[in-house]
């Protein structure tokens, strides 16, 4: 053990940094671990904005925000958590602004808000189309101000569980090499999503579900893992994100004939329906042969050059760089791409997991505020509000408990596993397994799901798991060995794919992101108004169900 | 497409350094980052480089291609490969190399942290517990600086830092401007005092490499100019660099031409100027300056005076003036001719015009 802290935050994106700041301000000795520098975190790639009922653009209140979120979740969201999020959101956003976040402004100098999908009011506070970047910067600034220690480029690998508590993390030091164990009274997982499970994803290379997998292996339950959101506007071929803010500003979605096809799917809200609805509509247009090379068209032309340059400069830059398309003159070809994991480590409204001393916040957690479908702008808000709550609770717990005990055997066991991996010289390199996993998930567990394909995917993943047992790390060096860390990341991803398939097959209905057009095309509240929970039992995933926490909203038919 | 790359490999553990060439098959849309991934996957797993978002926002993959800093994920390889070029890829400059294309970012971040890189709001908090009320125009002053992704490309190319490794450098100074220009910040004077010290604002050599190489349009050199302008506006002008700049303005508004003979005493002081008489004599001997200055006033001096008057009257002396100028220039550079929507729809090869279908009955989601 090289150090110990009261609170150790794993991951330093929006949720991790917000948690660390809160724990620090509560008086705890807090540190962060991150496999990349905090400002490189994928929170920074969030574009469109952050939802809070500030009422700056029109009449709004937290209750409407909560209702929109419940409905958006296709009634799978836990309503107590949603109410907390929407109540606390405004003050949390003002806090960010007071810290210096560079939000765009209204005419009267307030934080500007724009319309977003499935929202009853223009509620999405934004900084042009780089909102995530601006929030990561302001949180990093506050971390610097507090001088919170950060173990940068430390790759978290295993949770230390001892005496029925989580008491630290075993890491690989990327810069210098070697396993390093850091002890802690409480650990907060804030490791983000796992979009790298798919070929076409908006997610960064670093989004490999590390925290979810570490928790799973520590015996914890992962909740609603089948719920992977597909974002309707991503660029072919790799899935670079074009913000929902484009549609918030008024962009159209067209098929190859120029038809605004959403009139046939979501006649009231059109391009501002929820993401699951639009992704399905796009996929149906593409499957019916009305796409353009596997895409539909995101048309910004009528917004005019000035508005595009002022409000959506980042999207224009992405389209121009990666496709050579200037949205002032030509529509951007877009298609659905894996974007956000609604599922994750099951927590309560304070971020506590089943394991004492272990917390989770942000995308790696499932509180659940997003249920079966997340609304655009709610993810950044969740990272801030629930990051803060986890940080506060973890600090309080740590300050009232004293000991940290990490048995030597923990590091010895990890060392043995690592040596086995590094010393293997004969076998397959990880990249082909990784690529096959991503393309097969895309094929068999995408926007639409079919029993046969999901079962097939279960076999594919099992086969890839077998091949992984003989995986070879070519780089044997100590310094910046990403060949090693990428192999471990693939191991994490394989765990999660297994859980998703198991949960997906058993959810025999269509709800939010989980659409089964062939066998179970409608929502079945009688049987499935429940969360899936997957535990690892003797190395294989076991499914159980847990009721949705309801407060005041009963399920209704969901139309946009 | 076939892509060939030469990559400077380096192993800090052994000190081995070698230029290795790789030839790979890559899809036509591949960026430099995609190509490096292919090299690592299929040719040499020991190649190290940083990467994450692959969409120009995380700032991980700064490196050099043919000696100039780039973001690997922003660099499309098609044209380079078609032209048969074999680019040399190396780690960024001005930072110690750890392995292959990975540099030690510690010096970068310690300069960043030396800027007090956080808002110092003082006691002036919004009374209603909500946000500060600030106009968009006022926030535009820090717009470009807030685009910075800390990739280090500017630092890599900084000539001033190459000769003075302690120079705060373009990234840190741009971060400083991000707060100096923010009306919510109450520590402007303290900041400018700090940024004006040795290795600070005035040590920039104005080579403009940072502006040229920044992948995000931050234009760090412009941020440094704004810091200079704000310093002078607030009377923080002890540094020779500030005095030098002030003399240029003074000289042009009084006689309309640059009185070089007075530049040294006005910048460095009379004692220093006397010490440099020998240097001045040498300049005169070689015809670089006139031995005896002939006092005169330029014919069009009123133009300079009017311009100066305008700047003063409209309070455009500090950073705001710079930013307004930038905005005016940016409008010219966006590359659109202000066509009407009808003209855009009618362009050759344009995508079809949007239309709404008739829908008889309401479908369900």
**Between B118, B352, B356, which is nearest A145 by CB?**
B118
Distance (Å) from the alpha carbon of B195 to chain A's nearest alpha carbon: 18
Looking at the fold, whether A92 and A211 belong to one and the same domain comes out as: yes
Looking at the fold, whether A250 and A363 belong to one and the same domain comes out as: no
Looking at the fold, whether B28 and B116 belong to one and the same domain comes out as: no
Structural domain containing residue A125: 3-227+342-399
Render A123-141 in DSSP notation, one character per residue: -EE-STT-HHHHHHHHHHH
d(CA A246, CA A258): 17
Location of structure tokens 């006022």: B138
Distance (Å) from the alpha carbon of A538 to chain B's nearest alpha carbon: 33
Structural domain containing residue B163: 105-122+136-257+296-331
Looking at the fold, whether A281 and A177 belong to one and the same domain comes out as: no
> Which of B53, B62, B111, B348 to probe by mutation at the A interface, max A CB count within 10 Å?
B53
Chain B CB contacts of A331 below 8 Å: 351
Location of structure tokens 């401007």: B177
Could you give the C-alpha distances from B344 to A368, B146, B291, B356, in angstroms and in order?
A: 45, 32, 63, 19
**Between A36, A256, A431, which is nearest B52 by CB?**
A36
Question: Is residue B212 assigned to a domain?
Answer: yes
Alpha helix segments (H runs only) across chain B:
32-38, 78-82, 106-113, 136-139, 153-157, 159-163, 169-180, 188-195, 209-213, 220-233, 240-254, 260-268, 270-275, 277-285, 301-313, 319-333, 341-345
Residue B34 burial (C-beta neighbours within 10 Å; 0-12, 13-18, 19+)? buried
Looking at the fold, whether A299 and A178 belong to one and the same domain comes out as: no
Chain A CB contacts of B139 below 8 Å: 102, 104-105
d(CA B79, CA B46): 28
The answer to whether A99 contacts B42, with C-beta atoms less than 8 Å apart, is no
Looking at the fold, whether B92 and B143 belong to one and the same domain comes out as: no
CATH number for the domain spanning B39: value is 3.10.20.30
Question: Is residue B171 assigned to a domain?
Answer: yes
Question: Is residue A332 assigned to a domain?
Answer: yes
The answer to whether A205 contacts B102, with C-beta atoms less than 8 Å apart, is no
Domain count of chain B? 2
Q: Which two tokens stand for residue A58?
A: 């029109």
Residue A477 burial (C-beta neighbours within 10 Å; 0-12, 13-18, 19+)? middle
Chain A CB contacts of B329 below 8 Å: none
- To the query of whether residue A275 is one of the catalytic residues in this protein, the response is yes
- Long-range pairs for B80-86: beta carbons < 8 A, 24 or more residues apart: B80/B3, B81/B1, B81/B2, B81/B3, B81/B4, B81/B26, B82/B1, B86/B4, B86/B5, B86/B6, B86/B21
Chain B CB contacts of A103 below 8 Å: 131
Looking at the fold, whether A50 and A154 belong to one and the same domain comes out as: yes
- Identify the three-state secondary structure at position B246: helix
Looking at the fold, whether A328 and A418 belong to one and the same domain comes out as: no
Alpha helix segments (H runs only) across A189-239:
210-217
Q: Which two tokens stand for residue B68?
A: 């100039």
The pTM of the full predicted model, rounded to 2 decimals, is 0.96
- Give the A window 521-550 contacts with B, CB below 8 Å: none
8 A C-beta contact, residue A360 and residue A190: yes
Could you give the C-alpha distances from A133 to A436, B52, B308, in angstroms and in order?
A: 32, 14, 38
Closest-CA residue of chain B to A430: B41
With an 8 Å Cβ cutoff, is A25 touching chain B? no
Looking at the fold, whether B171 and B250 belong to one and the same domain comes out as: yes
Looking at the fold, whether A124 and A246 belong to one and the same domain comes out as: no
Tens-binned pLDDT, residue by residue, of chain B (365 aa): 999 999 999 998 889 999 999 999 999 999 999 999 999 999 999 999 999 999 999 999 999 999 999 999 999 999 999 999 999 999 999 999 999 999 999 999 999 999 999 999 987 788 899 999 999 989 999 999 999 999 999 999 999 999 999 999 999 999 999 999 999 999 999 999 999 999 999 999 999 999 999 999 999 999 999 999 999 999 999 999 999 988 988 998 999 888 877 888 888 888 888 888 888 888 888 888 776 777 789 999 999 999 889 888 888 888 877 877 777 677 666 666 778 999 999 999 999 999 999 886 655 54
8 A C-beta contact, residue B51 and residue B33: yes
Encode pLDDT of A158-193 as tens digits.
Answer: 999 999 999 999 999 999 999 999 999 999 999 999
CATH number for the domain spanning B173: value is 1.10.1060.10
Chain A CB contacts of B29 below 8 Å: 237, 322
């Amino acid at each position: 053990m090289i150090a110990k802290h009261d609170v150790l935050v794993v991951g330093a994106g929006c949720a991790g940094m917000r948690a660390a700041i809160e724990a620090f301000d509560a008086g705890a000795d807090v540190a962060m671990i991150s496999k990349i520098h905090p400002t490189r975190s994928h929170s920074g790639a969030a574009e469109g904005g952050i939802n809070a009922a500030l009422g700056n653009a029109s009449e709004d209140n937290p209750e409407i925000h909560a209702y929109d979120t419940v409905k958006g979740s296709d009634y799978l969201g836990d309503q107590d958590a949603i109410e907390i999020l929407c109540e606390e959101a405004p003050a949390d956003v003002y806090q960010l602004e007071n810290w210096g976040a560079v939000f765009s402004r209204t005419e009267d100098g307030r934080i500007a808000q724009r319309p977003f999908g499935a929202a009853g009011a223009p509620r999405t506070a934004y900084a042009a189309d780089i909102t995530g970047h601006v929030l990561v910067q302001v949180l990093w600034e506050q971390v610097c101000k507090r001088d919170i220690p950060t173990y940068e480029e430390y790759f978290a690998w295993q949770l230390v569980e001892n005496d029925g508590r989580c008491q630290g993390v075993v890491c690989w030091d990327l810069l210098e090499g070697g396993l390093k164990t850091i002890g802690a009274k409480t650990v907060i997982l804030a490791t983000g999503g796992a979009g790298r499970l798919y070929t076409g994803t908006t997610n960064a290379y670093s989004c490999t579900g590390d925290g979810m997998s570490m928790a799973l292996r520590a015996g914890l339950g992962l909740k609603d893992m089948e719920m992977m959101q597909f974002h309707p506007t991503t660029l072919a071929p790799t899935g670079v994100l074009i913000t929902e803010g484009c549609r918030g500003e008024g962009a159209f979605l067209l098929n190859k004939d120029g038809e605004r096809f959403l009139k046939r799917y979501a006649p009231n809200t059109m391009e501002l329906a929820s993401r699951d609805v639009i992704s399905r509509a796009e996929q149906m247009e593409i499957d019916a042969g009305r796409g353009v090379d596997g895409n539909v068209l995101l048309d910004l032309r009528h917004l005019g050059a000035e508005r595009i340059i002022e409000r959506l400069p980042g999207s224009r830059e992405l389209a121009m760089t990666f496709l050579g398309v200037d949205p002032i003159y030509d529509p951007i070809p877009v298609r659905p791409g894996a974007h956000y994991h609604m599922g994750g480590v099951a927590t309560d409204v304070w971020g506590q997991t089943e394991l004492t001393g272990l917390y989770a916040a942000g995308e790696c957690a499932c509180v659940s505020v997003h249920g079966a479908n997340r609304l655009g702008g709610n993810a950044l808000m969740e990272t801030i509000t629930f990051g803060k709550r986890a940080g506060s609770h973890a600090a309080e717990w740590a300050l009232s408990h004293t000991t940290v005990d990490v048995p030597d055997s923990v590091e010895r066991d990890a060392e043995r596993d690592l040596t086995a991996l590094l010393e293997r010289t004969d076998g397959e390199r990880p990249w082909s397994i990784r690529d096959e996993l991503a393309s097969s998930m895309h094929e068999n567990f995408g926007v639409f799901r079919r029993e046969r394909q999901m079962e097939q995917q279960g076999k594919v993943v099992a086969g890839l798991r077998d091949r992984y047992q003989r995986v070879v790390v070519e780089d044997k060096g100590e310094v910046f060995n990403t060949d090693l860390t990428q192999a471990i990341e693939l191991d994490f991803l394989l765990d999660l794919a297994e859980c998703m398939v198991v949960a997906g097959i058993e959810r025999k209905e269509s709800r939010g992101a989980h659409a089964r057009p062939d066998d179970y095309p409608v929502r079945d509240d009688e049987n499935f108004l429940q969360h899936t929970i997957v535990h690892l039992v003797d190395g294989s995933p076991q499914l159980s169900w847990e009721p949705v926490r309801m407060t005041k909203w009963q399920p209704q038919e969901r139309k946009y | 497409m076939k892509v060939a790359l030469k990559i400077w490999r380096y192993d800090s553990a052994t000190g081995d350094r070698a230029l290795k060439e790789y030839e790979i098959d890559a899809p036509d849309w591949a960026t430099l980052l995609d190509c490096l991934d292919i090299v690592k996957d299929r040719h040499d797993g020991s190649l190290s480089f940083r990467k994450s978002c692959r969409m120009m926002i995380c700032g991980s993959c700064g490196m050099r291609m043919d000696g100039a800093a780039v973001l690997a994920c922003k660099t499309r390889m098609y044209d380079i490969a078609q032209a048969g070029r074999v680019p040399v890829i190396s780690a960024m400059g001005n930072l110690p190399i750890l392995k292959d294309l990975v540099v030690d970012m510690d010096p970068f971040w310690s300069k960043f942290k030396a800027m007090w890189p956080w808002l110092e709001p003082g006691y002036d908090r919004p009374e209603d517990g909500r946000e500060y009320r600030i106009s968009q125009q006022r926030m535009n002053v820090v717009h470009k600086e807030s685009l910075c992704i800390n990739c280090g490309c500017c630092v890599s190319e900084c000539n001033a830092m190459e000769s003075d490794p302690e120079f705060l450098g373009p990234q840190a100074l741009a971060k400083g401007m991000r707060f100096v220009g923010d009306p919510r910040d109450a520590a402007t004077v303290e900041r400018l005092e700090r940024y004006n010290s040795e290795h600070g604002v005035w040590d920039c050599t104005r080579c403009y490499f940072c502006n040229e190489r920044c992948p995000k349009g931050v234009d760090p050199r412009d941020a440094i100019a704004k810091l200079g302008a704000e310093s002078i506006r607030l009377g923080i002008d002890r540094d020779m660099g500030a005095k030098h700049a002030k003399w240029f303005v003074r000289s042009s508004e009084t006689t309309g031409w640059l009185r070089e003979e007075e530049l040294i005493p006005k910048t460095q002081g009379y004692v220093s100027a006397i010490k440099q008489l020998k240097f001045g004599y040498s300049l005169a001997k070689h015809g670089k300056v006139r031995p005896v200055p002939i006092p005169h006033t330029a014919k069009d001096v009123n133009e300079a005076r009017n311009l100066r008057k305008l700047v003063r009257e409209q309070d455009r002396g500090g950073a705001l003036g710079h930013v307004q100028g930038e905005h005016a220039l940016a409008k010219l550079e966006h590359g659109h001719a202000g066509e009407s929507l009808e003209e855009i729809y009618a362009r050759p090869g344009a995508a079809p015009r949007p239309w709404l279908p008739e829908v008889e009955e309401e479908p369900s989601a």
